[in-house]
Every structure is written in structure tokens, then in C-alpha cells.
Structure 1
Amino acid sequence: MSHKIIKNIGIVTFYPPMRTEFELFGVETFEKNGFNVFFIDISKILTPNLKYDPPVVNDKIVIKINKIRELYDILNQNNLIIVSAVYYTYKTLWLYRLYKKFNVPYIVFDISYHPSRTFESSQKSLQERIKRLNFRNLIIRLVNSNTFNQFLIKKADFALVPNYFSNILDPTIGKNTKILYTHHSDYDKYLANLDKKVSPENIIVFLDEYLPYHPDFQVMKSKPPVTPMNYYTSISRFFDKLEQKTMLQVVIAAHPRSARKNLFGDRKVIYNNTLELVRKSRLVVAHSSTALNFVALYKKPVIFMTTDEIIKTDHNNIIMNMAKCFNKIPINIDDETSIDMSDICSIDLEAYNNYLNNHVKIPGTPEINSWEMFIDCLNENHYI
């Protein structure tokens, strides 16, 4: 079967792209293989009131879209494939309708897969399920159903699937979609750093999630699970206790979207270097960050923590589920109970390995970058 030859890679994002997105979407890998790569930022359409303006990395390859019609000329290119980093929902149905209108080939992948999703459906009570059966959610279910959307959208040409639990892509996957089982993007970073030597340091790394201010809460129009004053007071007090107990220094692996300064007092805050920080640490502290993938890869002891505020929210379930993956129980850092170092420093290797196999890398997949796998797939299917 013949296909149009792909020369351009257009990456559609719902956030202004940052340095982490350049790595996540394999920009360097595509460019090394002769592709012209550019980002299509539709955040102004999806979230026009978003108060979030990250530092520009390379605005020469970022096209900011303000109106839907501005996409027409881009999608009408003959040698283009779209990497759709915007999930299919009732709010983005228009975008997937455009993919169909212009018959543009596109690829989907689970950009924000989180292991806690695998627990969600089993934990919802009958009462909770009934509560969700309102008109809006019935419309959402209808839009997501294959019976309905097979007439509305063109199914994806390719799907990069990081594990067997990922199902958020299902509405866009059809019988002709080429499914490529790869691994989590964090494993790509792990592979890229295999030959790099790192010396251990006497540090504890906190995997920051920017919980009080994360822009996702604006996008989803939901309330953060913590208030800034209470949250930063609690974790600062806990870090003081932890440093006294361990004689180690707490270093902050900053969330890539964090923009506010001086949130952690005098503690060192480091951006865009989470893998190396975890790798050389003695201990990791976290809520439910996907960067826990590095904890599993490098077999680091970990403390899961919650607070009095978080416990009252759904976010606590996410933390509980992540801790369960590592056979741990979260600590409520607002509880004055002393820290049990013997439990903290223990590692359940079976749990760590199960986590890797279930959520980070499907056993048997090639030990190469995910986007290299995709380029090989394009070649095998005569797109290049």
C-alpha cells in the first residue's frame, strides 16, 4: 500500500511547549533523521484564559494558533504527519474532525500515563458512578464511544502505547491503526544516560509537583488539593526533621512548569535534571510524580507523603495508589509521629520490578528511543 512521503512532523500541543516537550517529543531524533519538526500550540483556543507563560525555548519552530481556521493551511500539507499530544475528548472533537477533513495522517500516544489510573475504576463505588450519570457525562461517553465516533473522526494511523494498561487512546484507535508498543518517555532518558557516570551524593531529592499552582488545575477548572501557605509550611517543617534524622541535605527537583521562586526557603532548587538527581541521591521523597519511574529504574528508597489537606481530596487516592505500587504506605507529614528510618530505607525489589514491567517498559521491546522505533515503523510502512 502506497502512502504520501512524510517530511514534516507537526506536534499539536495544548500547552506552550517547554524544553521538556522538546525532549518528550523527540525533536532532536526527528531532526537527525532529516525531518522538519515544528510545534502547533493550540492553547489559546483550548484554554484562552490560562495564566501561564513558560520561558521560550525555540520560538522559531513554534506556531501559535489563535483561531481554528489558522490550522487549515498547516493541515493541508501533502507531506505532513501530526503527532497529536492533545487527547480526544468532547472538547477536542473539532480538532480530530479537522484531521478527517484534511485526511492528515496522525499518531497518538499516552503523553501523561499515570500508574494510578489502573486502580481508579475498581475503587469507584456504585454511588459515585450514579453521581456521574449526568447529562454532560452522558454526552462525553457518547463522544468517546466507538459506535459514535467512527462516523465523526478519522482513526489514528499510529498509536505509541507505553504499556498494556494504557487505554486513554482507545477512542482514536481503529482496526487499521498500527499499534507500536514502546516504553515510557522516562525510559528514553534512562537509555540516553546509560553510559554517563554519576557519583552518589549525600542528598535527599524531593520530586516537586507544583501542587498549589500547577496550571493543570486552571485547565481542568478544578481546585488545587493544597493551599500554598499550609503546603509549603508543612513540607519545609518535614524536610527540617528529615535532614536532622538522616544528616542528608534535601534538594528540590523542580517541576518543569513551576514558575514561582523562593517556595522552598534556602533549599537548592534544580530544574530539568530530575534523572541525574534521583540517580545520585540516597533517598527520594514524593507524592505521586511520574518521575518515580526513575526511583524504580535506579532502585532508590522512597518516602511517599501526604498532608492533612491532601487527605481530604481525591489526590490522596492517587498518592495511595502510587505508594501501593512500591509496597509503601504514605506518611502524613502533618502528623507528629517520628520517622521510622528502617521502613523508609527498605526496598521491595519485586514491587519495583513489577512497577517497571507494568508501567515503564513492556518486557521484550527494543532498547532504543521510542521515536527511533516510530521512524523505523514509518520506514517499514513506506511513509519515508
Structure 2
Amino acid sequence: MRFDKVVYLRYMPLTAKVYSDFYMGEADLAGLKVEYWDLTSIFFEDNHGMEDSSYLAKVRKFTNYTELEFALKNEELLSKTLFISIMTFEGRISKLYQLLTKYNCILSVFGRNMFPLPSPPKSLLGTLGRIKIATVLNYFRFKRVLKLMKNGKIKKYDIVFQGGEQGWKGIGRVDFESIKDAEIVKVNSDDYDTYLMLKNEMGEKTDQYILFLDEYLPLHPDTVLFNIKNVKVEDYYPELNSYFDRVEKQYGLPVVIAAHPKAIRYKTEDFFNGRKVVFNETAQLTNNAFFVLAHDSTSINYPIASGKKLHFITSKNILNGIGQVHRNVVHFSDYLGCNYQFMNIDEKVNLVDELPIKNYEKYKYSFQTSPETEDKLSSKIFIDFLLK
């Protein structure tokens, strides 16, 4: 077979979702050696209480680059080992990728779960508003990465697992030129695969409630790890619940919360005034929703695949606190032919009358799947590729 071993590289602890989304269990069952190399301590001082499901796979935790290089030196057969980076391609990965290049590791990445992103603000004020010291430092780190790549000190990806025509943009700060020579393996987005697995089990649609795709906006651990500006808990949830009250009154249906996987505080605290909060069932919940509410969640893949109306929401607090989310809301609604509204303004929901089918189809093949893979599970494509 082509590879005997798969090593996953990431600067966060292993989670159940990552274990599932990157087919670690399937690779193990196929007879491949599977390891997860946890680099959290190299990149961050604290993981801020993130989930650590290291029991799911063979996990090796590294605290410095010396340990990491020792591990690379002692790999028995690097030519039969596939390294999969589960990290955004940007400035902070420079030293790691230099090591992988030094030992001529076969490096791959998944380019999928991408969105139709809006252009950044063109005004000087908008640009200055996004500038932070960490952003400036990472900019110069990334310029160095590009220089090292040009000089051959950092290798380009050997293999790209790509979901949709535009999926490669999800790799990070790369242009097509930097991956055009890679071996492209067409796969699907995570959510589209989940839809495929469940679509024959979902049964008849019943339109029993309105579904909200939660993003754990004020509390998401990534905002702490990457120093991302956010909204305040005391502003966000009261505003959101007030909006849900108006929606429920207008439609006579309850709002159900499809919880973000990292929303651990939802399990012990009530943030939604007693509303039903459900984990890990977003695809199934979408099937029986009358329509779906969202900011800019990746889970919009489910209503698009299932043919459900989407309605996007933002607020003045989101606009002022996390402007990128607001810009995504506006852009998504335009791209998909849906509507959006400010949830802090007391007005009726202006849900679209008809499902924008052509827009949904365009999104499907740009960001979710391809004609070659729309009826195939990515897990099978991935394992077949490793074993061929």
C-alpha cells in the first residue's frame, strides 16, 4: 500500500470531532498506524481548558522542537508516512514546516469547509480597526514563510484533500500557485459527509421548530487562543433571547439551539432561558426545522444540503465587537439569496418566500462537494487513497 502510517499534526489537543472528521478510526481499522502529535505546548502557554480526548488515539505530546526533531529522526520509514497538518498555513508554522522540509516528510492538508468570504474593509479606518500587535507580528512571520518557501527551505504541500472547487482556500494564507503542483484528491466538506450519512435515515420532514446554529460566540476558546476581539456575554445572550421571543411569537414555533461542540458551559448553565439545547445532532435537527437562523456558522452546510430556508442575524454589538462576523452575515445572505436582519431592532422576520435553489447549487459545488464525489463519503475516498 502507498502509506503504512498517518501522523496528524496540530497545535491543539485531540478532540472527538477532529478524531472523527479526519478519519482516524477508519485509518486504524484499515491497518494503518495512526498517531496524533499534539504540539499545543510548543505554540501556546495554556490550552484554556479545551477538550482533550487523547484516549481516542495514540497521542504524542511535544513541549519543544528538540523533542519533535528527535521523533522525526527516529521515524522508521518516512517515505511511507503521511503527515497531515491540521493547522492554518500562516506565520506561526514557520519553524515546524522547516523541520518537516529538513526531513523531507510527505506533507498533506485538507482544504475544505471554506466559505464565500467578503472582501476586507477598504477604508483606512476599517484597516486600522483590524490591526493589532499580534496581527503585525504574524504578518512579518508570514512574509518570512513565503521567502523560505521561495528559497526551498519550506516545502509546498505534496497532497491536498480538496472539498469543492474553492476548498483549497481553507488551507490558510496560500494562493493557488503554491498548491497547483500538489496531488489533488477530491473529497467533501465535513458537514456534507454527515448529511450523506444521515439523509436516508432522517425520515419525513415535519417543520416542528425553528433552529438556531449556535457558535458559542462570546465564549469560544479560539478567541482567547488567537486573541480575537469578541462580544460580551452580558450583551449577547439577552439580546439573542429577546430576538428568539419575537420569532416564536411571530411563527408560533419554538426555537431550538443546535449547540456548538465546544460550548461546554451550556451543559451546566442556562444561557437560553430554558430553550432546548442539543449537542451533536445539527444535521438531524435541520431536517425537521421550519427554517434555520444563523450568524456565519459552518453548519449552514446542513440547511443548504437539505434544502432549508436560511435567515441570517447580526446586531450592533456584533458589528462593533466582531466586525468580521457581521461582514460574513451580510455577504452570506447576498451570496445565497437569503435575507438578514439586526436582532437588536424590533421588527418582523423577513424570511425569503422561495428557496434560492440556483444559489444553493452554486454554493454546493464551490464549497461542499464535486460532481465526482457528491454521492461518496470522504472517509472511503481517503482510505482508498492511502491504500492504493
Q: Same fold (TM over 0.5)?
A: yes
User: Counterpart of 2:256 in 1: which secondary structure?
Assistant: strand
Q: C-alpha displacement at 1:72, in angstroms?
A: 2.9
Contact 1:255 1:271 in 2 (8 A): yes
- 1:208–1:286 CA contact under 8 A, matched in 2: yes
Q: How much has 1:314 moved relative to structure 2?
A: 2.9
Letter in 2 for 1:213: L
Please, which runs of 5 or more residues in structure 1 have no aligned partner? none
* Equivalence for 2:377: 369
Contact (CA 8 Å) 2:365, 2:371: kept in 1 or not? yes
Aligned ranges 1:1-384 → 2 under 5 Å: 6-54=3-51, 56=53, 58-76=55-73, 77=75, 78=77, 79-110=80-111, 113-116=114-117, 119-120=118-119, 124-125=122-123, 136=137, 139-140=140-141, 142-145=143-146, 148-165=149-166, 166-167=168-169, 169=171, 170=174, 173=178, 176-201=181-206, 202-224=208-230, 226-261=231-266, 262-312=270-320, 313-340=323-350, 343-344=351-352, 346-365=354-373, 367-380=375-388
Q: Structure 2: any 5+ residue segments left out of the alignment?
A: none
Q: Offset of 1:39 from its aligned partner?
A: 1.6
Change (3 A) 1:231 1:366: closer
Q: Secondary structure at the match of 1:282?
A: strand
Give 1:140 deviation, angstroms.
Answer: 4.2
Q: Which amino acid aligns with 2:224?
A: Q
Change (3 A) 1:290 1:35: same
The whole-number CA distance in structure 2 between the counterparts of 1:126 and 1:298 is: 41
Q: Secondary structure at the match of 2:169?
A: coil
- CA displacement at 1:208 relative to structure 2: 0.4
| One-letter amino acid matched to 2:55 | N
- Number of equivalences: 371
Shift of 1:73: 4.3
- CA 1:149/1:95 → structure 2, altered by over 3 Å: closer, same or farther? farther
Following superposition, the deviation at residue 185 of structure 1 comes to: 1.7
The 3 A distance-change label for structure 1 pair 55 and 177 is closer
Deviation at 1:25, TM superposition (A): 0.4
Separation in 1 of the partners of 2:147 and 2:310? 41
1:157–1:333: structure 2 CA closer, same or farther, 3 Å change rule? same
Residues 143, 149 of structure 1: 8 Å contact kept? no
Shift of 1:10: 1.3
| CA 59–73 in structure 1, closer or farther in 2 if over 3 Å, else same | farther
In 2, the alpha carbon distance for the partners of 1:175 and 1:246 equals: 49
- Shift, 1:366, TM fit: 5.8
TM-score by length of 1: 0.87
For the aligned residue pairs, the C-alpha RMSD in angstroms reads 2.8
Distance in 1 (CA, whole Å) between partners of 2:57 and 2:148 is 41
Residue-by-residue CA offset, 1:217-249 (whole Å, 9 max, x unaligned): 11221211x111111001111111111221212
The alpha-carbon distance between structure 1 residues 235 and 73, as it changes in their structure 2 partners (threshold 3 A), is same
Deviation at 1:276, TM superposition (A): 0.9
3-state SS of 1:291 partner = helix
Structure 1 CA distance for aligned equivalents of residues 107 and 308 of structure 2: 38
Alignment deviations for residues 295-334 of structure 1 (CA, whole Å, 9 cap, x no partner):
1100111211011201222321011111122212311011
CA shift at 1:344, angstroms? 4.2
Q: Please, which moves more after superposition, 352-361 or 186-195? A: 186-195
Contact 1:157 1:178 (8 Å CA) reproduced: yes
CA distance in 1, matches of 2:186, 2:178: 13
The DSSP-based 3-state class of the residue aligned with 1:120 is coil
With 255-264 and 205-214 compared, the bigger mean Cα shift is at 255-264
Alignment partners' CA distance in 2, 1:137 and 1:128:
19
Deviations 1:145-175 (A, max 9, x none): 3774442112222111223333354379456
Name the CA shift for 1:86/1:247 in 2 (closer, same or farther; >3 Å): same
User: Which string of whole-angstrom CA distances, capped at 9 and with x for unpartnered residues, describes residues 96-133 of structure 1?
Assistant: 111112222121122552322xx326x53578679979
Judging changes above 3 Å, is the alpha-carbon distance between structure 1 residues 364 and 150 closer, same or farther for their aligned structure 2 residues?
A: farther
Equivalent-residue separation in structure 2 for 1:23 and 1:234 (angstroms): 34
Q: 1:199: Cα distance to partner?
A: 4.0
Return closer, same or farther for 1:260/1:135 CA change in 2, 3 Å cut-off.
Answer: closer
Q: Is the contact made by 2:149 and 2:155 (CA closer than 8 Å) also made in structure 1?
A: no
User: What TM-score, normalized to structure 2?
Assistant: 0.86
